[in-house]
Structure 1
């Protein structure tokens, strides 16, 4: 006979199977429909169609498609008929895609030369800083940028690095273990190797930050308040984006707001492309499974695209 303890365990493991970002995205979509739009759940196909029409010129079609998927999931979970599959809703979405076609905006890639400028500015600022708190932030930001660039990490990967899962490899670099990642659907864990470099070294930047912050466990990158106290919860992806932009602005780069956390990933992909990496090498290093995903991140040289197309002939 099942008891309350076993039922609680079932709930625990069901919740563990749902990633935090997924839960947040789900909650945001439901709140948008109910609070911002004023919709009622369960919904009718007509109400869903009206919701889509209202936001057709305000949200991208991909965002609306995501909202539809969340609403469909809500109805399935609570045992109600799914209104998103109704012909009316499908026709409205088709019309929105045809009427409001858009080009996906991509983050500006942070090129290697630009990274050098930022790191030089950070190093000079660290030397000149007489404020302990400001110095800590600068050291942390340097580690974020170098690790994010050379490992082509997303913002959520940077925020999910834990010190206890970092292993130093003498004369080679270090390895980072992630118990779960976005692409690791089976939760088997993924290990990434980080090379030690003579210049712009992510390993040295990591060691400098861990030493300065005296970190031995928990999230690697943490917030620092105005008194120099650490927030030992993981930083958010938005914080990483702000750090990239603040560093770009501080170093004097043009249009810093065009950068985002994906700028590090796109910058590395562009660098790898320019230096003769094959598509297979880039995909294996970054962890991409689909060639189309990799090709979207490559910059203006298009060497990998050309090689990929030649293989298809």
Structure 2
């Protein structure tokens, strides 16, 4: 059994959280220990950890600090994260500077999973699970997910294809196809969207909006969600799941979180841009915010890497 799990199981039950949250916290505690830091932690070791991981988003660092705070509460020990030195270190990270410039905090994959695992099986919760996972894994803008119609979606056994028409960067209205692949993870956007669609009436109507309001009596209406309400759903569900900075999340947090999560695990910029549908110049701003040190190398990748095979766009309609 991992040391972290032994510690938390042997500790007094204080400051309890959901098991899904505890799993995320244990991951961050294991990362903290793997970088040479001991438990119990001192404020100086937490500052060193923050300094070591300045390339991470502010949201990720906040989750890591919350994990350490939770563990020390479980063990009945003083919380080192409350020290002023730790707070000062967090304020001086590149990610904090990005946030201070008014950019949306990213919603990272582990935070999305916290939200989705906290949802139940009511109609509104099934809808919100499908909405948030589709928006995150598809790197969709809130206006794009709000405007999705049934005819934009084609379901296959191993993936769901979403065709976006007339989006912000589709000046020629040629359309862009995004695939939500089936996965073996606990969170599968292909499966979650399929569950919601199976509950929706009028699924054969191609112009029917995918995401609609649900009444208090658990009935799906014909009234589509407004893009502003998409942000309300995100903040409400994030707060209920205990996500840090939930009140500061915006519709753009999903796109930023998707990009940052991909960069964090080494996905190449050109592959990410196939989903995000951004120009190299725009994408370069995300690389800078993510905190990569060698921006000239990143620029080289963006300008010289070949376009991967497998990128699909719907065929143009024949001229009439």
Length-normalised TM-score, structure 1: 0.58
Using the TM superposition, give the Cα deviation of residue 248 of structure 1 relative to its aligned residue in structure 2, in angstroms: 0.5
Distance in structure 1 (CA, Å) of the matches to 2:191 and 2:295: 33
For residue 286 of structure 2, what is the aligned residue in structure 1? 297
Is 1:248 equivalent to 2:235 in the alignment?
no
Residues 77-136 of structure 1: per-residue CA shift (max 9 Å, x gap): xxxxxxxxxxxxxxxxxxxxxxxxx964111101111112111111xx33xxxxxxxx11
Length-normalised TM-score, structure 2: 0.57
For residue 78 of structure 2, what is the aligned residue in structure 1? none
Look at both structures and tell me which one has the larger radius of gyration over its CA atoms. 1
For residue 129 of structure 2, what is the aligned residue in structure 1? 142
Q: How does 1:1-313 map to 2 (within 5 A)?
A: 104-122=101-119, 125-126=120-121, 135-171=122-158, 173-199=159-185, 200-216=187-203, 217=205, 218-288=208-278, 290-298=279-287, 300-302=290-292, 305=295, 307-309=297-299
Distance in structure 2 (CA, Å) of the matches to 1:145 and 1:206: 10
- SS in structure 1 at match of 2:178: strand
On the 8 A contact 1:273/1:301 being kept in 2, the answer is no
Using the TM superposition, give the Cα deviation of residue 297 of structure 1 relative to its aligned residue in structure 2, in angstroms: 3.4
Distance in structure 2 (CA, Å) of the matches to 1:215 and 1:178: 21
Distance in structure 2 (CA, Å) of the matches to 1:205 and 1:241: 19
Distance in structure 2 (CA, Å) of the matches to 1:184 and 1:310: 25
What is the Cα-based RMSD across aligned positions, in Å?
Answer: 2.3
Is the alpha carbon distance of 1:303 and 1:239 closer, same or farther for their aligned partners in structure 2, counting shifts above 3 Å? farther
On the 8 A contact 1:143/1:206 being kept in 2, the answer is yes
On the 8 A contact 1:265/1:297 being kept in 2, the answer is no
Distance in structure 2 (CA, Å) of the matches to 1:203 and 1:303: 35
Structure 1 gaps, min length 5: 1-101, 127-134
Structure 2 gaps, min length 5: 1-98, 304-320
Is the alpha carbon distance of 1:227 and 1:303 closer, same or farther for their aligned partners in structure 2, counting shifts above 3 Å? farther
Distance in structure 2 (CA, Å) of the matches to 1:230 and 1:268: 29
Distance in structure 2 (CA, Å) of the matches to 1:197 and 1:243: 24
User: Which deviates more, 277-286 or 239-248?
Assistant: 277-286
**Structure 1 or 2: more helix by fraction:** 1
Residues 6-44 of structure 1: per-residue CA shift (max 9 Å, x gap): xxxxxxxxxxxxxxxxxxxxxxxxxxxxxxxxxxxxxxx
